[in-house]
């Protein structure tokens, strides 16, 4: 009798221990099932961009979901449609060949078609036109937060109509705000914000610059508002106490 009582006692203790061991596992499985599943990243092909002046058409490439749409820089605008592209496909209408604009990670904030005049080689020669693409791109993690987004520098680049000969035309550590094209002069005037206080941020405390770029001989532009002109503006703007 006593032996049987011990058997029941040990069986009860063993069952209690097994139940205690199983409970965390069941809870763990339940918690895992409660976690929301992450939506997979997919490629999004935007509408075709066709220019009659070119043998190429463009297909901007985005991603969904795009976490970079959640953060905005100083000059970003809210939109229901994604404004971030991560590459552009160039398709040759005559040959059917395709190529990519970029061979590295970057964010293309915008791209625009520019048409300018080309100076004639001789006095009697007719004036011709030149077509380029102007891009606003994020290529470097300038604020060192481990990712590319609208808080980093937004640099201006140009390429030919085939997406080749990509060239930087605005200085590093700046954000390109807007521009105006002077077709007859073959120039583009660009407004940008410079990280003048070197705090790795672009705020309203930073300095605004205007640069001029010769698209017939493209390179990083130079300021056309010098310090002397700025000092005159400040002196004329001072209010008397």
Over residues 19-68, the pLDDT tens digits come to: 555 545 544 444 545 555 566 778 999 999 998 888 999 999 998 887 77
- Whether the per-residue pLDDT at 80 is higher than 50: the answer is no
- Whether the per-residue pLDDT at 221 is higher than 70: the answer is yes
Q: What is the mean pLDDT of residues 195-207?
A: 92
> In the Cβ-directed half-sphere of 50, how many Cα atoms lie within 13 Å?
4
Contact present, 107 and 86 (Cβ < 8 Å)? yes
Please report the pLDDT score of residue 33 as a whole number: 53
Contact present, 51 and 91 (Cβ < 8 Å)? no
d(CA 6, CA 14) in angstroms, rounded, equals: 12
Q: Which CA distances in Å does 236 have to 207, 208, 230, 232?
A: 19, 19, 10, 6
Most confident of 34-48, 80-94, 201-215: 201-215
Radius of gyration of the chain (CA): 30
Provide the Cα torsion 25, 31, 36, 42; round to 10°. -20
Contact present, 86 and 149 (Cβ < 8 Å)? no
d(CA 2, CA 11) in angstroms, rounded, equals: 14
Please report the pLDDT score of residue 126 as a whole number: 76
Over residues 126-182, the pLDDT tens digits come to: 778 889 999 999 999 999 999 999 999 999 999 999 999 999 999 999 999 999 999
Q: 211: pLDDT confidence band, cut at 50, 70 and 90? A: very high
Q: Per residue, what are the HEC states of the chain?
A: CHHHHHHHHHHHHHHHHHHHHHHHHHHHHHHHHHCCCCCCCEEEECCCEECCCCCEEEEEEEEECCHHHHCCCCCCCCCCCCCCECEEEEEECCCCCEEECCCCCCEEEEEEEEEEEECCCCCCCCCEEEEEEEEEEECCCCCCCCCCCCCCCEEEEEECCCCCCCEECCCCCEEEEEEEEECCCCEEEEEEEECCCCCCCCCCCCEEEEEEEECCCCCCCEECCCHHHHHHHHHHHCCCC
Most confident of 29-33, 79-83, 221-225: 221-225
Instruction: Using a pLDDT cut of 90, give the percent of the chain over it.
Output: 55
Nearest alpha carbon to residue 102 among 92, 113, 111, 93: 111
- Whether the per-residue pLDDT at 74 is higher than 60: the answer is no
Which two structure tokens, joined as six digits, stand for 27?
């809870």
Please report the pLDDT score of residue 75 as a whole number: 45
Over residues 107-119, the pLDDT tens digits come to: 999 999 999 888 7
- Whether the per-residue pLDDT at 234 is higher than 80: the answer is yes
Please report the pLDDT score of residue 92 as a whole number: 96
């Amino acid at each position: 009798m006593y032996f049987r009582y011990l058997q029941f006692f040990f069986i009860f203790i063993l069952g209690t221990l097994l139940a205690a061991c199983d409970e965390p596992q069941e809870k763990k499985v339940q918690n895992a099932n409660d976690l929301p599943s992450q939506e997979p990243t997919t490629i999004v092909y935007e509408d075709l961009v066709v220019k009659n002046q070119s043998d190429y058409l463009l297909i901007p490439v985005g991603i969904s979901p795009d976490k970079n749409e959640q953060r905005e820089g100083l000059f970003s605008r809210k939109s229901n449609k994604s404004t971030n592209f991560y590459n552009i496909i160039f398709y040759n209408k005559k040959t059917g060949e395709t190529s990519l604009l970029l061979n590295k990670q970057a964010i293309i904030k915008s791209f625009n078609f520019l048409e300018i005049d080309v100076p004639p080689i001789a006095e009697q020669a007719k004036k011709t036109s030149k077509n380029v693409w102007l891009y606003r791109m994020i290529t470097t993690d300038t604020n060192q937060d481990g990712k590319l987004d609208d808080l980093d520098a937004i640099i201006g680049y140009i390429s030919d109509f085939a997406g080749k000969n990509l060239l930087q035309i605005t200085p590093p550590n700046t954000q390109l705000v807007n521009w105006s094209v002077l077709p007859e002069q073959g120039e583009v005037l660009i407004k940008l914000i410079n990280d003048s206080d070197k705090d790795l941020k672009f705020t309203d405390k930073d300095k605004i610059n205007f640069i001029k770029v010769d698209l017939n001989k493209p390179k990083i532009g130079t300021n056309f508002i010098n310090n002397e002109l700025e000092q005159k503006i400040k002196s004329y703007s001072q209010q008397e106490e």
